[in-house]
Amino acid sequence: MLLPRDGEFTDSTWYASFKEKTEKMKTFKNMITTAALLLAGTGISNAAIISFSAQSGPSLTDFTFSLMLNKFDTNLGTLTGATIRFTGTDDVVSLNLNNTSNSIQSFRYKSTADFLVTSNTADATLTTTDLLLTNFDSGVISLGPAGSGVCAASTPTTSCNDVSYLPLAVTANTGDVAVISLNNYKVAGFGTFTLGGFTATGSTFVGGGGNVRSAQVTNGTAQAIVTYTYTPGPQTPEPATMALMGTSLLGLALIGRRRRSS
């Protein structure tokens, strides 16, 4: 068996040495690439969003509400847009219909709720936002004469005159509150604006001859969300980013020095 002369490598020794050098080069290359990307991203501004919300309720309707929302802080950057989404939610907790006539009555009962935004301290020229909800629509039903008994829950028939409905599905509606002047929604530091309004619930009978009585309990919730789009201001590199860039540059210098000395 022939032994390698001084300075000569066997295939396996040469490959191990070559692989080690290659891995070191890859490591430095990755560090430099990462640092370059971080450096390139420093000071570059991308579109961003931030949102704030406020809620009133649930409360027994009818009620007035005042929703306080944050203005945009110009220290974050340049404001480019704003949207305000208003949502009204109504929950019919209980509903009872009772025929007081001595004869069978056929009718239709419908319950509605309006959620109205009537003021905005940021926009004096606000146009009222009105969200209409239909809480319950019985369709055409018939109840028996007074004194004929209590119906099974949510099951009106002509053999009973009094029917109660189990808690009904929660209804909601959402709409936009107009943003008239974008400048009114920004401030350097902390500031707020307020949306004010009220709820108006109602019910109607079609048929029944005025002989059917209703008793209803409803809870309402008013909610608003303001979303700002903006361009962030220039950012200062974090210490960790600066340290990584420094390490990468040092590695690049060492590679150049080794190449010159080889």
Mean pLDDT by 10 residues, the chain (262 residues): 49 54 56 52 72 97 97 96 96 95 96 95 88 94 97 96 90 93 95 97 94 95 97 70 55 55 56
Rounded Cα distance between 110 and 95, Å, is 11
| pTM passes above 0.75 | no
Residue 250 lies in a domain: no
Rounded Cα distance between 71 and 56, Å, is 19
Q: Take residue 71 and report the two structure tokens written for it.
A: 């203005």
Domain around 151: 48-232
Residue 243 lies in a domain: no
- The count of domains in the chain is 1
Give the tens place of pLDDT for each residue, 218-254: 999 999 999 999 999 876 555 655 555 555 555 555 5
Residue 203 lies in a domain: yes
Residue 22 lies in a domain: no
Residue 198 lies in a domain: yes
